[in-house]
Structure 1
Amino acid sequence: MPGRDRDEAVPSGKRVLALWCPDWPTTAAAAEAGRSPHDPVAVLRAGRVEACSHAARAGGVRRGMRKRQSQSLCPELTVYEADSARDGRLFEPVVAAVTEVVPMTEVLRPGLLVMAADRAARFFGGEELLAERLADVVAGVGRGEEADGRGRAVIGGVTARVGVADELFTAVLAARSGQTVSPGSDAAYLSTRPVADLVVEPALSGPGREDLVNLLWRLGIRRLGAFAEMDAADVASRFSSDAVTAHRLARGLPGRRPSRAPIPPGLEVEHVCDPPIDRIDAAAFLGRRMAQELHERLSSAALACMRLTIHAFTERGQRHSRTWRCVEPLTPEATADRVRWQLEGWLTGRAGSVDAPDSPVVRLVLEPVEVVNPSGLQYALSGAGLPGEVGGGLGDQARRALVRVQGLLGGEAVRVPVRSGGRGPDEQVTLVAFGDELRPPRDPTATWPDRLARPAPSLLVQAGAEVRDAADRPVTVNPRGAFSAEPVTVRLGARSYRLRWWAGPWPFGPGTARAQMLLADGRAVLLCCREAEWAVEGIYE
């Protein structure tokens, strides 16, 4: 068709179904404690609400609230600490029940799974009938069962919502309202959605996605349709690599293309268990060993794993398989977590159920299903300002390189930044020798009176400066914390610049103050006055 965008989404006949269990962390926490998921329940992480049940939201509780505030709004609220292992273990019966209906499923995270819907919909007579069938199956998980006397929680009364669309991202959003998006209508459906939907699902959000959404909101972009109308080249040149992915999602295009390269042989990791495994601790230990071996093979082949299938075989030949999909390449730690979640949920399943193991596990296989070239991936700077793995820290190659430099130049020759406390921007970052304990000299969470207000300068410098008034006399800060005269020009090196705007001064001690000044050439600088001497502390870009 003339004028058609070559990247425009075209109905391909392939459909994606997403099944979402709302507030899964609270459902799992309540089940483990023997409470109803319909009670006011909240899950905390670092003292703040990470997830809350519908009853808790009806009482005024919201995500991000502190524990004391949430309990004051809802006195009957029960709080639990976040536990990803508990969430994964208790989600296993739900996955098993869904797999009985549609064999091939992918778990994005505990509480959310996806599957190809085209063939299953034809088998059940349509997408709506398939969605109803899956919702009924999930609602029946654990119904009428009781704990078996060994302290194992039984999930019951699980609510599930199903969404169907052409693309995975659209299906996940549609599942939150239980909708089916017509074929070829993803872009139209997304155009009216709020831009905050880009971060509503953590399993599909890359690093820095929240900052992108906040920036788009400040720019006046409120809907995904407005973001989708931006030129792809402009997004790539002005924003991060994750913004390019988010832009494709907003346009209804695939968020990540499948790898074109075939999976080379020899990546699969298999272990024969001798003796057979029937305990969680043994399975977790083996999972860590196999995860490390898998990623050594991936590194040798210069590949990264995006989708992984975990197979477990029992003595009597029973097979238990799950496929895990991630928005970022799996790390050894993330792989070991998924092995533990899957086996813990299976091995602790109710005896006598259809999916319960009939005997101990004798063989475990980790099979990469989708691999990509890691050189084409964009990593966020984390840890010490170098490409880090999930959860922070340095990669093995970067760590070995820094250790070698220390061996050549000395331990203090390599330093890494640590967030610290202080009033000025230069005080809020402390350099610590690599390998030492990353303990800041000043508490960054403490209250610092007279702390410089945000935004902080993007570039920290140390350079002398002079501030002068209309009569070309030096301007200082008087004992009352004010300018001795109105500043008119700033001298940096051999050149003088007229001021277009200034703010401050903000004193933070006797005879010391900071001020922000906008120069005639458009540069904005942060100046600091100490003992009647000015210096440039930072530059705003």
Structure 2
Amino acid sequence: MRPDAPVRSLVLWLPDWPVTALMREGTISDDGLEPGGDRDQPVAVLANNTVVACSASARAEGVRRGQRRRDAQARCPGLRIVPADPARDQRTFAPVVAGLEEHAPGVQILRPGLCALRARGPSRYYGGEAEAAQMLRGVLGELDLFDVRAGIADGPFTAEHAARVGTSATSPVCVVPAGGAAGFLAPLSVAALGFETGGGGLDPELLARLGVHTLGAFAAMDADRVRERFGEGGVRLHALAGGRDSQPVLPRVPPPELHREVAFEPPLEIAEQVAFGMRIAAEEFMAGLAALALVCTELRVELYGDRGERSERVWLHPGSFDPAAIVDRVRWQLAEDAQTRVLKSGVILVRISPEAVDAASHHVPAIFGAGTDERVHHALSRVQAMLGHRGVLTPAIGGGRWLIERQVLVAWGDRQVINATRNQPWPGSLPDPLPSTVFSARVAVEVVDADGDAVAVGDRDALTSAPALLYGPDQDGGDRARVIREWAGPWPVIERGWDAARTRRAHRFQIVDADDVAWLLVCEHGEWFAEGRYD
């Protein structure tokens, strides 16, 4: 056999896996995921405002993959929209692959919902290729996955499309005979190459514009001409179209089991009992990371109640977790769940897993001692352990348009939580540098022109006259007139323009008075106030 000859491959495809992954973690409601509910409701998963997967009930209403959001909602007015979450898709697919590996090792994950393995071993063991495919479908059926399509052909590319276009709900297995890949692929559209381009320099739409509409027509082109026009990436796709798939199946290396679970029978109602039961698991968790020279910087804690409730949270740490810090996070999460009534019954299972890890070498104490920062960290962590998660707060700059909104107090260790909101686009927000003094309440001021008339902002965001004097409180509590030497603005700030009851429109100004003090002023509905001062 030639070294580049196609390898007989078996591909398992779970259609619309993003929707399946969503349903396996919970059902969707108006506010997000919730346990229970109707799993037959029409759901569509969107990325970049385009449908990437939809449920069977949504497909029955006319929703299709690739539709724009507006078109999908026009076809199905009751459609529930869910943003795509690749991490969720990967997280829920990993246990599926682990279940397959128990019966047929050597599984390669092509993408969440699609995996491949060499067909030779399973077919010999289970008595044939079709029999091996049916057996693996049965394995997934035990995991409550019933719509599983299987394709067997020469090479993963042909096997994948055999699973996609050669199967149906009543005929879920498609076997392409050895040597028949070219004939099977020939009538397929060149759009099938879209799964394999990956920046290879060939756009399937370009082939269609050139009059090449099928894989058979593309495979019939001269390879040298394809190389001249499309380069080596085009030559590879040309070989795939002709059934000459030389890519091997690369089995994944199963990741080490770093998570730990503790089950309680009977269920525990008291948080201290649950925390005490987690001590050994926390030590084993840290020992497993240490064996790989890793430390945990973000920890996922999952709590399961006796009535099916589930509480999940990712905890951060200023440095890295140790067993005591893990037990504290479990205790704090139980305390917060008790206040919010997330868990309404006893705890039957606690699961801890690393959300983010780092090399242990990055967290080794310095040669000449830990330093001031490390001593401060230990002191605050000890106080937090005694007072609870919100017992130690640190100031941080968050996201928002107004300065007072950006002053955020976060629990010690959760500083990174605000990064997501801070990095969001905030049209109208103030760029750096920010004022060093931010007034907690509105400081009313008055801005007048050289004639003593009040300055306002017109309909076209233009000042009625040039500002000359600023009247505002001084340090003694009285009013003081300041000569405005320089000024800049206005910069409009518009919030919730779509909501007439909650909309807000204001204008910001920066001024410098005769004492070289810079101010940030806001004019809203003709009234002026100082938002901050540049000291």
* TM-score, reference length from structure 1: 0.43
Decide which structure has the larger Cα Rg and report it: 2
* TM-score, reference length from structure 2: 0.43
